[in-house]
Amino acid sequence: MLKGKTRRTGLVVFDVEGVLVPKKRFLYFAVGRTLRLSQFLGMVFYGFLYEVGLISLKTALTHVFKVFKGMQTQELLSIYQQIPIIPKAKEIFRELRSEGWKTALISSGLPAVFVKDLASSLEADYSFGIELKTQDNIMTGEISGDVIEKKGKLKVLRSILAEEELLPEDCVMVADDRNNLQIFLPQAFKIGYNPDFVLRVKADVVLSGKLPEILSLIRRESKPTRRAPTRNEIVREAIHASGFFIPIITVLLGLFPTALLISAIILLYALSEVKRMERASLPVFSSVTRVAATQTELYEFATAPIFFALGILLTLLLFPLPVSSVAIAAFTLGDSMASIFGGMFGQRALPFNKGKTVEGSVSCFFFAFCAALFFTTPAFAFLAAVATTTIESLPWPLNDNLVTPLLTALVLILTQSLL
């Protein structure tokens, strides 16, 4: 079995968006720019309702795919084929095939014709996606298929297992979001690849690095090798840690000018990401993104810097300066050092968030305390460090760059009278 000492091959199931192709790039950037503004906003609206759990996936997709009514299938396929495959994906599938693994692509967000085209390129054995209803090669705007039904992915998986005469314990699941929870069977080996907050808890192991690192996990060879941070990681965390100076800048310039400056940076960065998706660039911003972004972010609209800046901005605006300064300092330095030292020395994953390690959390506490101490008393700095470390370690439905400074400041406000 996969979880035993003797390695055997079986079936590897890949989610598609967010694992093999950039997440949301097809709908929001490739197709989105061909739509009227009202159509695009409607698509985003229904996507948001699904993300916050107010409507089912089937309901969201039914509304979203109505915008394709009247479009030729080949026209849509040509748009999709412009989207890049994540680097080294073909090599990964070649390795798995040579070792005797069967592979399947199962997507509940992309049309079956696209998934089939990708499976052909990767030489995968199975592919499943949304069925687009057409008439004379013209899309009617209606969709169907098992993958959009409740427990539909599980039904598809069971059909593959039956055909291959395999058991759930012969499976490896690779996915990034909670829609795949139905196929995260207890007996299977479950890998969360840059996962959302649900899969960070449910996965057996979480991988946030480069996709090729997934091979050693599938083979169950050993734990990921700890290494010195790359140039990319150093630049990324240096930018993150530089947020420590925001409270100092606020004292020098004032709250309103600092807030205006952060807002301008957010808008310029968002513009630069839109242009980057269109294979253009904005001076300085696009260059910094290319140096600091993770491999996955290079092919997606990288939202982490926006949440990072928004977290700092809202903390400044919603809380008085002494508290906001402590919260921002603890967050920016503690979180960045947790990433660096967790990557270098982390061996023990947190049971409630397998994307974080005990070693990273210890580093977060130490540096958060030191950073907070620059702005407050030791007792208050200790409280800030405890709050930051606890909040940063938990899996959140919202980006932790947004949640951590805000909740840390809230904890400090509620407890400052006790110190």
pLDDT per position as a tens digit, 60-94:
999 988 888 888 888 888 888 778 888 889 999 99
Q: Is the pLDDT score of 306 beyond 90?
A: yes
Tokens representing residue 385 in the block: 């460090």
- pLDDT for 3 equals 43
Return the ∠ at Cα 196 (arms to 404 and 56), rounded to 5°: 115
Instruction: Give the pairing type, strands 138-144 and 126-135.
Output: antiparallel
SS3 4: coil
> Of the given ranges (201-215, 293-307, 384-398), which has the lowest mean pLDDT?
293-307
Q: Which amino acid is at 238?
A: A
> Residue 133: left (phi > 0), alpha (psi -120 to 50), or beta?
beta
Q: Is the pLDDT score of 224 beyond 70?
A: no
Q: pLDDT above 90 covers what percent of the chain?
A: 55
Residues 6+ apart with CB under 8 A from 240: 308, 332, 335, 336, 339
Find where tokens 């800048």 sit: 249
Q: Is the pLDDT score of 138 beyond 50?
A: yes
Q: Which amino acid is at 48?
A: F
Q: Is the pLDDT score of 52 beyond 90?
A: no
- pLDDT for 222 equals 55
Residues in the chain, total: 419
Comparing 28 with 39, the larger pLDDT belongs to 39
Span 190-197, average pLDDT: 91
Closest CA to 338 of 387, 383, 378, 388: 388
Q: What is the DSSP code string of 396-407?
A: -SS-HHHHHHHH
- pLDDT for 418 equals 66
Span 355-372, average pLDDT: 94
SS3 242: helix
Span 155-175, average pLDDT: 95
What confidence tier does 5 reach under pLDDT thresholds 50, 70, 90? very low
How distant is the alpha carbon of residue 316 from its chain centre? 26
Burial class (CB within 10 angstroms; exposed 0-12, middle 13-18, buried 19+) of 36: exposed
Find where tokens 């808890």 sit: 201
89 close to 211: Cβ distance less than 8 angstroms: yes
The residues pairing with 102 across neighbouring beta strands, listed in sequence order, are 11
- pLDDT for 220 equals 78
Q: pLDDT tens digits for 239-280?
A: 999 999 999 999 999 999 999 999 999 999 999 988 887 778
Q: Is the pLDDT score of 6 beyond 70?
A: no
What confidence tier does 281 reach under pLDDT thresholds 50, 70, 90? confident
Q: Is the pLDDT score of 373 beyond 80?
A: yes
Q: Is the pLDDT score of 1 beyond 60?
A: no
- pLDDT for 297 equals 74
Domains of the chain, each with CATH number or no CATH: 11-218 (3.40.50.1000), 231-418 (no CATH)
Q: How far apart are CA 404 and CA 377, in angstroms?
A: 21
Instruction: Give the pairing type, strands 353-357 and 349-350.
Output: antiparallel
Comparing 209 with 331, the larger pLDDT belongs to 331
349 close to 395: Cβ distance less than 8 angstroms: no
Tokens representing residue 246 in the block: 């925001």
Q: How far apart are CA 413 and CA 318, in angstroms?
A: 11
Closest CA to 357 of 345, 373, 375: 345
Mean pLDDT of the chain: 88
Q: Is the pLDDT score of 30 beyond 80?
A: no
Which helix (H) or strand (E) segment is 355 a member of? strand 353-357
Closest CA to 13 of 184, 130, 131: 184
- pLDDT for 296 equals 74
